[in-house]
């Protein structure tokens, strides 16, 4: 019983009891679930000592030491926002429903709480939905599978994964179209596929625009099977349809030209910055356009690793192009997000790759993996930063990642949605 209520009971007539109860309830502060002592909290620029609290799932700070149900001593460690993956396919990408908990744990172990699936099956997504988007799992958004031109990417890849690895046992050559990819060459075909895509209730739309400067050349040539995409002339209409449904649109691009036509069409997300697998140098015009359009850009530079052994020369020139492109985008003030497209791993591999490139400072790299990425995956949600009132999700690191980025991987504690995560289950 609170002290003011006891006073009311002793001195005031019983008829006022109801009033007293009401006033006690109103003045009571919500109790903090946790207080974190001796932590150094990332404020977007550097680390500062703060008294931090988790109150009703939100981060709160106070100058004073207030009581809490549980007190955690962080012992001078460093607190950063959770990490993030802006491009993968390893949730809902195939018949892996049995191993989804393993993938979730790999993400959580690496500190990655938010993920964007840039192409996966609505059917498999449905099967694993109850294992995602909860306080003890990863928060994931899905494009489902995307739109392409006839014989375009990812058709060849899907057929190969089905035949060689039996990734889609529920599908056949006949049923894979309109599930693993959606092909359209005309406005009428695109309209037909659009209603099928919407029926899968995607969180955003994915479309393939590959080597579009050679669209006419590649369109019917079997040599380019799987290495082409949608007619770039159809793109502005598709963007219009997506926006009318309140859906963002992410574009798989390969070349500087692809990126330019996508931005001109009003695309929201460039799902791969050119030079992820080709030695493609971005033009000044495209960078200026990206800045002006405010589109989200995702790295996926580890894609180049598949050429390391197969084609060392292509690998070397592609890495050189990455070293040229990335600092120019950052100097232009574009908040580039980390996405790996690494279906065998997590975006940690991309962060390590970008750190190794040696062209981005640690502060920028941390932003790319936290708030820049979180705003691509869940725009408008209060995540990716440690601001007052933001969702109480964060990582505790043993050392300062601004001094040595390897400290970003030394995670001693994970807090998601106001709860301490235990990865032992």
Binding site for Zn ion (CB under 5 A): 118, 341
Cross-strand pairs, 50: 39
Quote the least distance from Cβ 285 to Zn ion, whole Å: 26
Residue 258: helix, strand or coil by DSSP? helix
Quote the least distance from Cβ 181 to Zn ion, whole Å: 13
CA angle (376, 106, 368) in 5-degree steps:
30
Residue with tokens 């207030």: 66
- How far is it, in rounded angstroms, from Cα 204 to Cα 136? 24
Quote the least distance from Cβ 271 to Zn ion, whole Å: 7
Of 296 and 341, the one with the shorter C-beta distance to Zn ion is 341
Between the CA of residue 240 and those of 218, 234, 237, 271, what are the distances in Å? 26, 10, 5, 18
Quote the least distance from Cβ 349 to Zn ion, whole Å: 14
Of 341 and 371, the one with the shorter C-beta distance to Zn ion is 341
Of 85 and 341, the one with the shorter C-beta distance to Zn ion is 341
Of 377 and 421, the one with the shorter C-beta distance to Zn ion is 377
Of 81 and 146, the one with the shorter C-beta distance to Zn ion is 146
Of 52 and 338, the one with the shorter C-beta distance to Zn ion is 338
Beta strand extents in 213-265 (DSSP E only): 249-253
17-27 vs 3-11: helix crossing angle, rounded to 10: 170
Quote the least distance from Cβ 176 to Zn ion, whole Å: 18
DSSP symbols for 6-40: HHHHHHS-GGGHHHHHHHHHHHPPPPEEEEEEEEE
- How far is it, in rounded angstroms, from Cα 205 to Cα 130? 22
Residue with tokens 């002339």: 233
Quote the least distance from Cβ 300 to Zn ion, whole Å: 7
- How far is it, in rounded angstroms, from Cα 369 to Cα 347? 8
Residue with tokens 């703060």: 50
Residue sitting closest to Zn ion (CB): 341
Contacts of 165 (CB under 8 A, 6+ apart): none
Quote the least distance from Cβ 345 to Zn ion, whole Å: 13
Longest dimension (CA), the chain: 93
- How far is it, in rounded angstroms, from Cα 131 to Cα 158? 25
CA neighbor of 134 nearest in space, from 169, 171, 159, 104: 104
Of 90 and 325, the one with the shorter C-beta distance to Zn ion is 90
DSSP symbols for 75-103: TT-EEE--EEEEEE--SSSSS-GGGHHHH
Quote the least distance from Cβ 118 to Zn ion, whole Å: 5
Quote the least distance from Cβ 127 to Zn ion, whole Å: 20
Quote the least distance from Cβ 194 to Zn ion, whole Å: 21
Of 118 and 265, the one with the shorter C-beta distance to Zn ion is 118
Of 118 and 376, the one with the shorter C-beta distance to Zn ion is 118
Of 300 and 370, the one with the shorter C-beta distance to Zn ion is 300
For 112, counting Cβ atoms within 10 Å of its Cβ (0-12 exposed, 13-18 middle, 19+ buried), the class is buried
CA 146 to chain centre: 17
Residue 5: helix, strand or coil by DSSP? helix
């Amino acid at each position: 019983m609170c002290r003011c209520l006891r006073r009311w009971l002793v001195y005031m007539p019983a008829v006022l009891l109801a009033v007293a109860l009401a006033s006690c309830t109103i003045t009571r502060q919500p109790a903090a679930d946790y207080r974190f002592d001796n932590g150094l909290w990332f404020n977007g620029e550097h680390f500062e000592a703060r008294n931090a609290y988790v109150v009703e799932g939100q981060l709160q700070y106070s100058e004073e030491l207030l009581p809490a149900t549980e007190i955690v001593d962080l012992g001078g460690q460093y607190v950063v926002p959770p990490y993030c993956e802006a491009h993968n396919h390893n949730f809902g990408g195939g018949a892996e429903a049995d191993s989804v908990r393993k993938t979730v744990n790999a993400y959580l172990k690496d500190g990655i709480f938010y993920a964007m699936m840039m192409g996966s099956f609505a059917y498999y997504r449905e099967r694993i939905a109850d294992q995602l988007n909860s306080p003890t799992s990863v928060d994931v958004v899905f494009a489902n599978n995307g739109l392409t031109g006839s014989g375009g990417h990812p058709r060849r890849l899907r057929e190969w994964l089905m035949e060689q690895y039996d990734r889609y046992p529920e599908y056949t050559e006949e049923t894979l179209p309109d599930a693993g990819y959606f092909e359209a060459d005309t406005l009428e075909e695109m309209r037909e596929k659009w209603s099928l895509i919407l029926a899968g209730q995607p969180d955003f739309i994915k479309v393939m625009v590959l080597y579009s400067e050679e669209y006419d050349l590649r369109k019917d040539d079997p040599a380019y099977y799987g290495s082409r995409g949608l007619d770039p002339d159809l793109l502005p209409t598709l963007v219009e349809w997506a926006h009318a449904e309140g859906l963002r649109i992410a574009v798989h691009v390969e070349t500087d030209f692809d990126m330019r036509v996508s931005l001109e069409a009003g695309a929201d997300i460039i799902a791969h910055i050119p030079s992820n697998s080709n030695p493609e140098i971005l033009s000044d015009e495209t960078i200026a356009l990206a800045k002006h359009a405010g589109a989200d850009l995702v790295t996926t530079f580890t894609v180049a690793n598949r050429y390391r052994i197969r084609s060392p020369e292509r690998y070397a020139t592609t890495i050189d192009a990455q070293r040229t492109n990335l600092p120019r985008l950052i100097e232009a003030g574009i908040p580039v997000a980390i996405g790996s497209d690494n279906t065998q791993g997590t975006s940690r591999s991309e962060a390590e790759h970008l750190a190794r490139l040696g062209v981005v400072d640690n502060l920028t790299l941390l932003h790319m993996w936290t708030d820049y990425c979180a705003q691509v995956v869940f725009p408008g949600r209060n995540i990716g930063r440690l601001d007052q009132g933001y969702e109480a999700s964060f990582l505790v690191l043993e050392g300062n990642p601004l001094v040595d980025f390897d400290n970003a991987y030394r995670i001693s504690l994970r807090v998601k949605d106001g709860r301490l995560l235990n990865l032992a289950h």
